[in-house]
Amino acid sequence: MMGAENKGHDYEEAHLFASKEEMESLLLHEHPFNSNSNGNGNFFSSYGSAMSSSLPDSHHPLSSSVATAILTDSDPLLSPPPYPELHGPSSHDNSYIEPPSYADVIFSPFHGEDINSLESPSLSSINSPMSFSRTSSSNSEYIRITVSNPQKEQETSNSIVPGGNTYFTYLITTRTNIPEFVATEFSVRRRFRDVVTLSDRLAESYRGFFIPPRPDKNVMESQMMQKQEFVEQRRVALEKYLRRLSEHPMIKKSDELKVFLQVQGKLPLPTSTDVASRMLDGAVKLPKQLLGESTVAPHEVVQPAKGGRDLLRLFKELKQSMVNDWSGSRPLVVEEDKEFLEKKEKMHDLEQQLSSSSQQAESLVKAQQDMGETMGELGLAFIKLTKFENEEAVFNSQRARVLDMKNFATAAVKASRFYRELNLHTVKHLDALHGHLGLMLAVHSAFTDRTSALLTVQTLLTELASLQSRSEKLEAASSKVFGGDKTRIRKMEELKETMRVTEDAKNVAIREYERIKENNRIELERLDKERRTDFLSMLKGFVANQVGYAEKIANVWGRVAEETSGYVKESI
Partner 1 sequence: MDHQQPPWSVSGSSQSPRSPSSQPYLHVSVIDPVKLGNGVQAYISYRVITKTNLPEYQGPEKIVIRRYSDFVWLHDRLFEKYKGIFIPPLPEKNAVEKFRFTAEFIEMRRLALDIFLNRVASHHELRQSEDLRTFLQVDEAVMERLRAHENGLFKKPVELMQIFKDVQSKVSNVVLGKEKPVEESNAEYEKLKHYIFELENHLAEAQKHSYRLVKRHRELGKSLSDFGKAMKLLGSCEGDSLGKAFSELGAKSEVVSVRLQKEAQQLLMNFEEPLKDYVLAVQSIKATIAERANAFRQHCELAETMKLKEINLDKLTLTRSDKMREAETEYNQLKQANEEAKRRYDDMVRLMNEEIVRFQEQKTLDMGVAFHNFANGQARLANNIADAWRSLLHKLESC
Q: What residues from 2 to 61 belong to the interface with partner 1 (CB under 8 A)? A: 46-47, 50-51, 53-57, 59
CB of 113 vs partner 1, minimal distance in Å: 22
- Among 196, 286, 350, 495, which residue sits at the site for partner 1 (rule: CB under 8 A)? 350
With CA atoms as reference, report the closest residue to 273 among 282, 265, 264. Answer: 282
- Would residue 96 be called left, alpha or beta, if left means φ above 0 and alpha means ψ between -120 and 50 degrees? beta
With CA atoms as reference, report the closest residue to 560 among 382, 348, 352, 377. Answer: 382
- Among 153, 392, 472, 493, which residue sits at the site for partner 1 (rule: CB under 8 A)? 392
- Among 407, 458, 462, 519, which residue sits at the site for partner 1 (rule: CB under 8 A)? 407
Q: Give the Cα separation of 68 and 403 in Å (integer).
A: 8
CB of 393 vs partner 1, minimal distance in Å: 9
CB of 516 vs partner 1, minimal distance in Å: 25
* Angle at the Cα of 181 from the Cα atoms of 175 and 184, rounded to 5 degrees: 35
- Among 378, 464, 499, 522, which residue sits at the site for partner 1 (rule: CB under 8 A)? 378
Which residues inside 521-560 make contact with partner 1, applying CB under 8 A? 532, 535-536, 539-540, 542-544, 546-547, 550-551, 553-554, 557-560
- Among 276, 280, 341, 568, which residue sits at the site for partner 1 (rule: CB under 8 A)? 568
- Among 400, 446, 460, 508, which residue sits at the site for partner 1 (rule: CB under 8 A)? 400
Q: Which is nearer to partner 1, 391 or 485 (CB)?
A: 391
Q: Which is nearer to partner 1, 130 or 508 (CB)?
A: 130
- Among 45, 230, 375, 514, which residue sits at the site for partner 1 (rule: CB under 8 A)? 375
According to the binding rule CB under 8 A, does residue 384 interact with partner 1?
A: yes
- Among 364, 492, 495, 499, which residue sits at the site for partner 1 (rule: CB under 8 A)? 364
Number of alpha carbons in the 13 Å side-chain half-sphere of residue 160:
2
According to the binding rule CB under 8 A, does residue 571 interact with partner 1?
A: yes
Q: Which is nearer to partner 1, 415 or 508 (CB)?
A: 415
Q: Would you mind telling me the total number of residues written for the chain in this entry?
A: 572
CB of 188 vs partner 1, minimal distance in Å: 39
- Among 79, 273, 359, 448, which residue sits at the site for partner 1 (rule: CB under 8 A)? 359
Q: Which is nearer to partner 1, 59 or 496 (CB)?
A: 59
CB of 282 vs partner 1, minimal distance in Å: 42
Q: Which is nearer to partner 1, 230 or 535 (CB)?
A: 535
Which H helix or E strand runs over 150?
Answer: strand 143-154
CB of 376 vs partner 1, minimal distance in Å: 9
Which residues inside 421-460 make contact with partner 1, applying CB under 8 A? none
According to the binding rule CB under 8 A, does residue 334 interact with partner 1?
A: no
According to the binding rule CB under 8 A, does residue 196 interact with partner 1?
A: no
DSSP string, 446-503: HHHHHHHHHHHHHHHHHHHHHHHHHHHHHHHHHHHS-S--HHHHHHHHHHHHHHHHHH
Beta bridge partners of residue 175, listed in sequence order: 144, 185
CB of 240 vs partner 1, minimal distance in Å: 22
The 269-288 site mask, x for binding partner 1 (CB under 8 A), equals --------------------
Q: Which is nearer to partner 1, 251 or 375 (CB)?
A: 375
CB of 562 vs partner 1, minimal distance in Å: 8
249 CB neighbour count, 10 Å cutoff: 14
The residues near 508 (Cβ < 8 Å, ≥ 6 apart) are 298, 299, 301, 302
Which residues inside 140-179 make contact with partner 1, applying CB under 8 A? none
CB-CB contact of 102 with 547 (8 Å): yes
534 CB neighbour count, 10 Å cutoff: 22
Q: Give the Cα separation of 213 and 266 in Å (integer).
A: 23
With CA atoms as reference, report the closest residue to 16 among 366, 375, 369, 370. Answer: 375
CB of 187 vs partner 1, minimal distance in Å: 39
The 113-142 site mask, x for binding partner 1 (CB under 8 A), equals ------------------------------
Q: Give the Cα separation of 112 and 428 in Å (integer).
A: 14
Helix then strand then coil, in percent of the chain rounded to 5, is: 65, 5, 30
Which residues inside 203-242 make contact with partner 1, applying CB under 8 A? none
According to the binding rule CB under 8 A, does residue 86 interact with partner 1?
A: yes
Q: Which is nearer to partner 1, 257 or 393 (CB)?
A: 393
Which residues inside 93-112 make contact with partner 1, applying CB under 8 A? 102
CB of 176 vs partner 1, minimal distance in Å: 32
Q: Which is nearer to partner 1, 171 or 364 (CB)?
A: 364
Q: Give the Cα separation of 207 and 516 in Å (integer).
A: 6
According to the binding rule CB under 8 A, does residue 492 interact with partner 1?
A: no
DSSP string, 400-450: HHHHHHHHHHHHHHHHHHHHHHHHHHHHHHHHHHHHHHHHHHHHHHHHHHH
- Among 415, 457, 505, 508, which residue sits at the site for partner 1 (rule: CB under 8 A)? 415
Torsion over CA of 146, 152, 158 and 162, rounded to 10 degrees?
140
According to the binding rule CB under 8 A, does residue 363 interact with partner 1?
A: yes
- Give the distance between the most distant pair of CA atoms in the chain: 141
* Angle at the Cα of 216 from the Cα atoms of 212 and 221, rounded to 5 degrees: 155
With CA atoms as reference, report the closest residue to 259 among 327, 194, 335, 348. Answer: 194
